[in-house]
Amino acid sequence: MTTLPVPGTSTDVRPRKISRKSTGADAVFIHTIRTVGTVVLVITGGVGLFLGWQAYPTAQNYGLGFFTESRWLPEADVVGIASVLTGTFCVATVAMVIAFPLALLTALYISEYAPAFLKNTLVSLVDLMAAVPSIIWGLWGFFLIMPHAAELAMWLDRNLGWLPFFDVHDADPNAAVVDTVISQYSFSMFCAGIAVAMMVLPMSCAVMRQVFSQTPEGEKEAALALGATKWGMVRTVVLPFGRGGIIGGTMLGLGRALGETIAVLLILSPSFEVKGRILEIGGNTVSALIAGRFGDADDTQLSALLAAGFVLFLVTLAVNTLAAVIVNRSRSGAGTDA
């Protein structure tokens, strides 16, 4: 005769029902994080709706001409963002051309080559760069970097001036008196891009470094066991594994570069002309335009400035969203040892 197990005793072997419902501290944490995430989305959406609503009169008044007009003459009822959009992308491009290799090499050195006793110090120093206020970077670029950058710009014009973006109109890079010519290479998008590059470098480097540190140790050791050199292991294992992080970190830095304001406002001489000549004095960006004209703007110009801000908001939102998607869909972090 078989004895049935008594429920609640040690002889009860029936499987228990598993509940996925969070309880206690887990439930508090999940609801808190969910609330914070919702608030962030609501605030971001509210900013977008506010800018869109304020920009509607400008869109109704100027239509597509707001995007094709380069001049900004609110007293003549002529405003457009073609020149400032061009300048925004030129400054951001210069910044990323400088910041990308520096961020990549710094992240690789910290994660793969730096001695163990030096890693934490280097990480702290790079992260400390992100805490420096933008106005300090602007002053650094204005007083320290711009004189040397102008000399470099003149050298580039002299040797690579046949390239359209390195050409400077009405300037003679071979002039005997350098001081009279050097001013034409100052206050340019090139000089502003150098300052912005130092501001976006910590963000890009942090993302890349974090991804490189998650490379599976087994794959790295297998490459070394097969006879690969240190650089061979980095090239065949670390870099392919961190490809998504490299792209994502670069695009996050690009989103920051597109919206930088104070450093650009201090360095760049404002002008409203559609040009890709980055070494030439003059230029403007959307954020610098808003910061420079917001204080004395009337209602019409204020609506136009908010419309320009709305366009910049959409561009940076698209860039950062694309970066987040690339990072999330990459292989980074998969298969790492616990």
Give the separation between CA 67 and CA 80, rounded to whole angstroms. 6
DSSP string, 224-287: HHTT--HHHHIIIIIHHHTHHHHHHHHHHHHHHHHH--HHHHHHSPB-------TTSB-B--HH
Specify burial of residue 306 (Cβ count, 10 A radius: 0-12, 13-18, 19+): buried
Task: Determine the straight-line distance between the first and last CA of the chain, rounded to whole angstroms.
Answer: 50
> Using an 8 Å Cβ cutoff, are 190 and 167 in contact?
no
Per-residue pLDDT of 224-267, as tens digits, reads 888 888 899 999 999 988 888 888 889 888 888 988 888 899 99
Which pLDDT value is given to residue 172?
67
- For the chain, how are helix, strand and coil distributed in percent, rounded to 5? 70, 0, 25
Q: What is the pLDDT of residues 91-100, one digit of tens each?
A: 999 999 999 9
**Euclidean distance between CA atoms 231 and 217, whole angstroms:** 15
pLDDT at 330: 62
Residue 304 carries which side chain, given as an amino acid letter?
Answer: A
CATH number for the region 26-329 comes to 1.10.3720.10
The H-assigned helical ranges of 116-188 are 116-131, 134-140, 146-160, 179-182
Q: For residue range 101-139, what is the model confidence (pLDDT) as tens digits? A: 999 999 999 998 988 888 889 999 998 888 888 899 989
CA 333 to mean position of chain CA atoms: 22
Please state, in angstroms and as integers, the Cα–Cα distance from residue 218 to each residue in 215, 234, 242, 266, 337, following that order.
9, 13, 15, 50, 8
Q: Which amino acid is at 177?
A: V
- Residue 292 — pLDDT band, cuts 50, 70, 90? confident
What is the mean pLDDT of the segment spanning 24-34? 82
The pLDDT of residue 35 is 92
Sketch the domain layout of the chain as residue ranges: 26-329
Q: What tokens appear for 245 in the block?
A: 């992080």
Q: What is the pLDDT of residue 335?
A: 46
Which pLDDT score is estimated for 337? Answer: 43
- Total residues belonging to the chain: 338
How many CA within 13 A on the CB side of residue 105?
5
CA pair distance 323, 191, nearest whole angstrom: 27
Please compute the mean of the pLDDT values over residues 172-176 and round it to a whole number.
66
pLDDT for res 102:
94
Lookup: tokens for 324:
């987040």
CA-CA distance, 85 to 96, in Å (whole number)?
16
pLDDT confidence of residue 29: 84
The answer on pLDDT for 170 being more than 80 is: no
User: Which pairs count as long-range contacts for 102-108, CB under 8 Å and 24+ apart, including other chains?
Assistant: 102/197, 102/201, 102/205, 103/201, 103/204, 103/205, 103/208, 103/249, 103/250, 103/253, 104/208, 104/246, 106/201, 106/205, 106/209, 107/205, 107/208, 107/209, 107/212, 108/208, 108/212, 108/234, 108/238
> Residues 37-83: pLDDT tens digits?
899 999 989 998 998 898 888 888 888 888 888 888 888 888 888 99
- Among residues of the chain, what percentage have pLDDT more than 90? 20
Q: In this predicted structure, which of 16-25, 86-95, 231-240, 313-322 has the lowest mean pLDDT? A: 16-25
Q: What pLDDT does residue 88 have?
A: 92
| 330 close to 248: Cβ distance less than 8 angstroms | yes
Of 15-24, 292-301, 321-330, the range with the lowest mean pLDDT is: 15-24
Of 94-103, 190-199, 299-308, the least confident: 299-308
**261: nearest Cα among 228, 286, 282:** 286
| Cα 61 to Cα 289, 301, 314, distances in angstroms | 20, 12, 20
Asked which of 113-122, 188-197, 292-301 is least confident by mean pLDDT, the reply is: 292-301
Mean pLDDT, the chain, whole residue set: 84
